[in-house]
Amino acid sequence: MAIIINLDVIMAMRKKSLTELAGEIDITLANLSILKNNKAKAIRLSTLNEICKALDCQPGDLLQYVEDDKIFTEDVIVEEET
C-alpha cells in the first residue's frame, strides 16, 4: 500500500510555485519539496490544513491511495509484471 501526494498537480492547476506556496504556509522550501516529490514519510495535519487552505482544495485532492501491485515510475503508475 502506498499513499502518494499529488501536490505538484494541484500546484500546477492553481499556477502556484513551490517558493510561493512555501512562503504562504510558512514551511521550508526543502520540506515542501520533500512532500511534492513523494519522499515524505508523514505529514502533520496542521501542514495539510495550511496547504489545503492555500491551494483551495480538499485533502482528498492531494492524497491518493495506490494498491501494492502498482509501482511508480516518475509521474506514471504502472502495473507490476507477474
Residue type, 25: I
pTM: 0.78
How does pLDDT run across 25-43, given as a tens digit for each residue? 999 999 999 999 999 999 9
Regions in the chain scoring below 70 on pLDDT: 1, 68-82
The set of residues, in sequence order, having a beta carbon less than 8 Å from that of 38 and lying 6+ positions away, is 4, 5, 72
Residue type, 82: T
The set of residues, in sequence order, having a beta carbon less than 8 Å from that of 21 and lying 6+ positions away, is 11, 32, 51, 54, 55
Side-chain half-sphere of 26: how many Cα atoms within 13 Å?
A: 3
63, β-bridge pairs = 5
Domains, the chain: 2-79 (1.10.260.40)
How confident is the model at residue 66, as a pLDDT?
A: 87
How confident is the model at residue 82, as a pLDDT?
A: 46
